[in-house]
């Protein structure tokens, strides 16, 4: 077990919120077609409120802090918040589109000891990238910012969200990452909007494209290993937790709402009304999430993929049942291994049943 895994396990055992994803604003200078957020300001927390929350997080034991949004630099107090977070000794990562980062901002991030900056790049082709962000010139500015950041010695990661409009451009973005000397990550997950609107799900890439992604050595490493059939789930798997959401991870919105994860919109409290630690320890919603083991999952507990699936309980929750399957992850497991998930088989059966003619003879026991 690596040192990091050992400490994560300890955090889990002690109930410590080791990682927090903090969206400090939903405002953004881009209007990405796949974004799940509403970009209006409905009353963001003030500088003083956020600082108080950061202090509470430090006291609760949070170590990994991700500042994200919206676009973090839309807040004029961003560097004040960053400076305070570093004063409290958080390991800080920033997710940004980077279009507002120039040399001065890059230098300040290095001076403040930011560990990593993740920049969203959708395509190496300006017309595709800018077509997704709806901000003309955004690819040029984001790439220029990556150069500023790396010249200052900052660790930058390119995040490439794949959707129907850019699904053929991952190799181009990978090549761009190589040229810039930064790591590349790919994510084919499109989630419904925070308000439940699922219309953007039409942007999800089709299954045949997922096959290509999961069998591409440059993206997944050892294809044989990555796409191997799942091993038979043992007791450890069945007694295990689906993911870290609500266990060692929490998400805080710009309005102070606390959720188990950024992809899990189950309102669990608000730091404007309660101390973070009280929400973390006593929220009935978080405790409900924590009580769920793999063996409790309604369909997935009987699925051969249960031990290896990337099943997101947040996506399952958005589909109506946090103990149920997440269709997108069933698709991923299937296209990775070629083995249909329990939920897919169940739906196949239901479909077959609805098409089949009724039984020729119906027999009912005479015993009441």
Please report, as residue ranges, which positions from 194 to 233 form the binding site for other proteins (by CB under 8 A): none
Pull the structure tokens for residue 14. Answer: 């002690």
Kindly tell me which of 96 and 341 has the beta carbon lying closer to other proteins. Answer: 96
Residues 6+ apart with CB under 8 A from 341: 300, 303, 304, 305, 309, 325, 330, 333, 334
Burial letters for 197-231: b for 16+ Cβ neighbours within 10 Å, e otherwise?
eeebeebbbeeebbeebbebeebeeeeeeeeeebe
Q: If binding is defined by CB under 8 A, does position 87 make contact with other proteins? A: yes
Q: Phi/psi at 64 (nearest 5 deg)? A: -95, 120
Q: If binding is defined by CB under 8 A, does position 114 make contact with other proteins? A: yes
For other proteins, which residue of 4, 48, 355, 366 counts as binding (CB under 8 A)?
A: 4
Collapsing DSSP to helix, strand or coil, 90 comes out as coil
For other proteins, which residue of 19, 62, 263, 304 counts as binding (CB under 8 A)?
A: 62
Q: Phi/psi at 136 (nearest 5 deg)? A: -55, 135
Rounded distance, CA 234 to CA 295, Å? 11
Helix crossing, 342-355 with 327-337: angle to 10°? 100
For other proteins, which residue of 49, 83, 115, 319 counts as binding (CB under 8 A)?
A: 115
For other proteins, which residue of 39, 47, 52, 88 counts as binding (CB under 8 A)?
A: 88
Q: Closest approach of Cβ 155 to other proteins, in Å? A: 7
Q: Closest approach of Cβ 82 to other proteins, in Å? A: 12
Q: List the Cα angle 96/101/107 in 5-degree steps.
A: 110
Q: If binding is defined by CB under 8 A, does position 344 make contact with other proteins? A: no
Q: Closest approach of Cβ 4 to other proteins, in Å? A: 5
Rounded distance, CA 118 to CA 159, Å? 6
Rounded distance, CA 51 to CA 253, Å? 14
Rounded distance, CA 245 to CA 175, Å? 33
Kindly tell me which of 59 and 179 has the beta carbon lying closer to other proteins. Answer: 59
Helix crossing, 138-151 with 126-133: angle to 10°? 100
The piece of 35-43, 90-98, 231-239, 290-298 that touches other proteins (CB under 8 A) is 90-98
Q: Closest approach of Cβ 1 to other proteins, in Å? A: 13
Q: If binding is defined by CB under 8 A, does position 3 make contact with other proteins? A: yes
Q: For tokens 């266990």, name the residue.
A: 247
For other proteins, which residue of 116, 152, 308, 321 counts as binding (CB under 8 A)?
A: 116
Binding footprint of other proteins, residue count (CB under 8 A): 30
Kindly tell me which of 7 and 200 has the beta carbon lying closer to other proteins. Answer: 7
Please report, as residue ranges, which positions from 5 to 24 form the binding site for other proteins (by CB under 8 A): 6-7, 10-11, 13-14, 16, 18
For other proteins, which residue of 155, 288, 323, 346 counts as binding (CB under 8 A)?
A: 155
Q: If binding is defined by CB under 8 A, does position 45 make contact with other proteins? A: no
Q: Phi/psi at 19 (nearest 5 deg)? A: -125, 135
Q: If binding is defined by CB under 8 A, does position 279 make contact with other proteins? A: no
The piece of 113-121, 265-273, 288-296, 301-309 that touches other proteins (CB under 8 A) is 113-121
Rounded distance, CA 144 to CA 163, Å? 24
Kindly tell me which of 38 and 80 has the beta carbon lying closer to other proteins. Answer: 80
| Interface contacts to other proteins, rule CB under 8 A | 3-4, 6-7, 10-11, 13-14, 16, 18, 55, 58-63, 86-92, 113-116, 153, 155
């Amino acid at each position: 077990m690596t040192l990091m895994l050992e400490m994560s396990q300890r955090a889990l055992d002690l109930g410590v919120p080791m990682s927090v994803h903090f969206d400090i604003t939903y405002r953004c200078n881009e209007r990405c077609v796949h974004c799940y957020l509403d970009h209006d300001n409905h009353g963001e927390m003030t500088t003083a409120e956020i600082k108080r929350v950061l202090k509470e997080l430090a006291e609760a034991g949070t170590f990994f802090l991700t500042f994200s949004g919206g676009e973090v630099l839309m807040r004029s107090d961003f560097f004040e918040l960053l400076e305070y977070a570093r004063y409290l000794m958080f390991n800080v990562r920033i997710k940004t589109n980077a279009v507002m980062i120039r040399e001065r901002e890059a230098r300040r991030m290095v001076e403040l000891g930011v560990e990593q900056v993740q920049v969203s790049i959708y395509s190496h082709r300006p017309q595709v990238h800018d077509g997704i962000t709806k901000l003309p010139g955004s690819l040029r500015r984001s790439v220029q910012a990556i150069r500023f950041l790396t010249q200052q010695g900052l660790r930058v990661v390119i995040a490439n969200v794949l959707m129907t409009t850019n699904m053929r451009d991952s190799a181009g973005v990978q090549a761009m990452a190589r040229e810039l000397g930064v790591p590349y990550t790919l994510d084919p997950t499109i989630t419904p909007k925070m308000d439940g609107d699922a219309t953007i799900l039409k942007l999800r890439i089709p299954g045949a494209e997922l096959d290509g992604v999961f069998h591409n050595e440059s993206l997944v490493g050892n294809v044989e290993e990555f796409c191997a059939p799942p091993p038979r789930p043992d007791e450890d798997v069945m007694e295990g937790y689906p993911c870290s959401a609500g266990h060692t991870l929490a998400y805080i919105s710009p309005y102070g709402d606390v959720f188990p994860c950024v992809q899990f919109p189950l309102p669990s409290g608000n730091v404007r009304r309660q101390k973070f630690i009280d929400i973390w320890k006593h929220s009935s919603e978080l405790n409900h999430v924590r009580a769920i083991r793999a063996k409790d999952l309604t369909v997935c507990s009987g699925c051969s993929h249960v031990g290896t699936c990337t099943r997101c309980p947040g996506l399952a929750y958005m589909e109506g049942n946090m103990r149920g399957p997440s269709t997108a992850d069933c698709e991923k497991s299937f296209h990775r291994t070629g083995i249909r998930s329990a939920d897919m088989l169940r739906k196949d059966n239901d479909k077959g049943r609805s098409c089949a003619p009724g039984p020729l003879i119906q027999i009912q026991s005479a015993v009441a």
